[in-house]
Amino acid sequence: MPPATDRGEGPASYLAVVLLVGLLVGALVVANVPVSVTAGIKAAVCKVVSDSRCDTPEEAGGGSGAASDGRRGISAAPRDSGKKDDGNCWSWAHWACSAVDGLRLGTGGVIKDAWDGVTFVGCLAHICSHDGFKSNWSGIGALFTTDPRDTAKTIWDESTKPIRDDWNNGHKVRAVFRAVPTVLGTVFGGKGLTKLKHLKSKKPDPPRPPDPPDVIARRAGEAARRGDVDAADQALADAERHLRELSELRVNDPARVSFGEMSRARAAAREARRAAKDARIRKILLQTPMGRRANDILNRYNVEVVYRSRGGTEYYHDSNRVMMSTSRGGSTPEEELLPENALTPEEQAVDLVHEAAHVEYDHTGKSAAISLPRDKFVDGLLKEEAEGVARQVEMTYELRAHGARVDVTDMEDVYSRGYNRAVGQAERRGETLTDEERRRIGRKGAVEALEQAFRSGRFRTSSTNEPYPEYYGKQWDNANGWSTP
């Protein structure tokens, strides 16, 4: 006789098992049990009532049963060994004995859980040992400090452990029938509360201490250098919050906040505001080749860029600082502040490219030295100014290619006329120009045309509204002790 199995015989037995599957699946759905568990139970019953192989959930997912060459592994699913569960069952009735044994164990587990629930609640009132009292209240507290998903997993794992052990040890039928009272106890009883003691309370992470003011200022400056607007804004928010907290603390208790602390906090907030503005302009620079070149120059020589509402745009080599005007100017200081005279961010980026040219000339020794004769000093700075405007115009062309709207200026008109005139003259001489030669000759003509426009006094400075030859001549006079009669 072949070994006894957990397979029933006859239509009546088959019908009984099908009804049992429906009951279990319905109860498990009501209890919000994961689909993987219901699939496992159905697979177990399938093994009981059918000769054909039934995939377990692991096999259906191709997990541990996958062969090394990528194909599905073929391995026999574990079955009940045929051993009697309680020692009082004939081999031909082993299936029924397993079912009864499962119901008996499951019902006993429900009764035990009910009693555990009573003792759990009693222990909350200290009607138990001191260790039990602390353990149970710790479980309650863990509800508020543990991820709900971890809570549900802990309760489920603890509640279903005996069933899973039966299943893994080959007692499939007993596991299925043991699940019936367990599910009913979960739906209608207090199962789960007593499992809270197994939760591990998680302490929330302590808040990160605020950065010191100098660190916040450094973060803001670094964000500006790389055009990171979000990081600069975050540094600004941190600096302003720190200043606000210190101010409130000083109002309530002046002795707790020193004058030095307040000064450092104000300086950090001021630097963060400057950096937040600068980051927005640097972000525009990084969109084009000419802009990236300018940004690299400013970063290489650690130039500070400060934005102001009036006073023009200028590079100060003594302080290594660029003062950027956010206004295109006006006939009076009041007109200069009118909204219609405000420069767009793109226009400010174009101006910053111009000033970066002055920075490069100064730091590489190409700028005219004040020790030169007056005419050579002025001539050298007019050439430098023309180069700066040429880069400014080229930045304008690149921004327009990226879809930005930048108005045409008189300087751009001079650049364009000089460029086209130089190329036209070369072509009339019969020269055959490559694209590279055309750009080189055209740009050289554009810079010469701009230099001539500066020399003639057509363009004036944004800071003093003087013709450039007069402006640079005064610089030489002041540095060499000359005075105007």
pLDDT digits (tens, 9 = 90+) for 35-92: 444 444 445 444 444 444 444 444 444 333 333 333 333 333 344 444 444 445 555 5
| Stretch among 91-105, 128-142, 395-409, 410-424 having the lowest mean pLDDT | 128-142
- 360 part of a folded domain: yes
Residue 265 lies in a domain: no
- Binned at pLDDT 50, 70 and 90, residue 16 comes out as very low
pLDDT band at 124 (very low <50, low <70, confident <90, very high): low
Mean pLDDT, the chain, integer: 75
Residue 192 phi, psi (nearest 5)? 115, -45
Same domain, 303 and 410: yes
Give how far Cα 485 sits from Cα of 94, 175, 482, Å. 125, 111, 9
Q: What is the pLDDT of residues 440-459, one digit of tens each?
A: 999 999 999 999 999 999 99
- Helix, strand, coil proportions of the chain in percent (round to 5)? 65, 5, 30
pLDDT at 113 over 50: yes
Rank 70-84, 321-335, 464-478 by mean pLDDT and report only the highest. 464-478
* 194 within some domain: yes
H/E stretch holding 429 reads: none
What does pTM read for this prediction? 0.57
If one compares 140 and 318, the residue with the highest pLDDT of the two is 318
- Same-domain check for residues 167 and 297: no
**Domain range for residue 436?**
286-479
Q: Which tops the pLDDT comparison, 485 or 471?
A: 471
Which long-range contacts (C-beta less than 8 Å, at least 24 apart) are formed by 116-120? 116/194, 117/189, 117/190, 117/191, 117/193, 117/194, 120/193, 120/194, 120/197
Residue 31 has pLDDT above 50, yes or no: no
Domain boundary among 179, 198, 217: 198
Q: What is the pLDDT of residue 432?
A: 86
Sign of the alpha-carbon torsion through 323, 325, 331, 332 = negative
Where a domain ends, among 198, 213, 232? 198
Residue 233 lies in a domain: no
Q: What is the pLDDT of residue 385?
A: 96
At 370, which amino acid appears?
A: I
Q: Which residue has the higher pLDDT, 173 or 116?
A: 173
Contact between 47 and 172 (Cβ < 8 Å): yes
Q: Of 260, 266, 259, which is closest to residue 216 (Cα–Cα)?
A: 266
Q: Which two tokens stand for residue 17?
A: 């098992």
Residue of higher predicted confidence among 29 and 290: 290
Q: What is the pLDDT of residue 41?
A: 44
For residues 321 and 175, membership in a common domain is answered with no
| Cβ atoms of residues 411 and 393 within 8 Å | yes
Given 198, 227, 249, the domain boundary residue is 198
Strands (E), 309-448: 314-316, 321-325
Q: How many angstroms from the chain centroid is the CA of residue 409?
A: 40
Overall average pLDDT of the 344-369 stretch = 96
Q: Is residue 214 part of a domain?
A: no
With tokens 């950090």, the residue in question is 268
In a domain, residue 221? The reply is no
- Identify whether residues 292 and 435 lie together within a single domain: yes
Please name the residues in contact with 362: beta carbons below 8 A apart, sequence gap of 6 or more. 315, 317
Secondary structure (3-state) at 218: helix
Number of other residues whose CB lies within 10 A of the CB of residue 376: 13
Using a pLDDT cut of 70, give the percent of the chain over it: 58
Q: For 137-148, what is each residue's pLDDT tens digit?
A: 565 555 555 555
Helix (H, G, I), strand (E, B) or coil at 2: coil
State how many domains the chain has.
2
What average pLDDT does this structure show over 235-244? 95
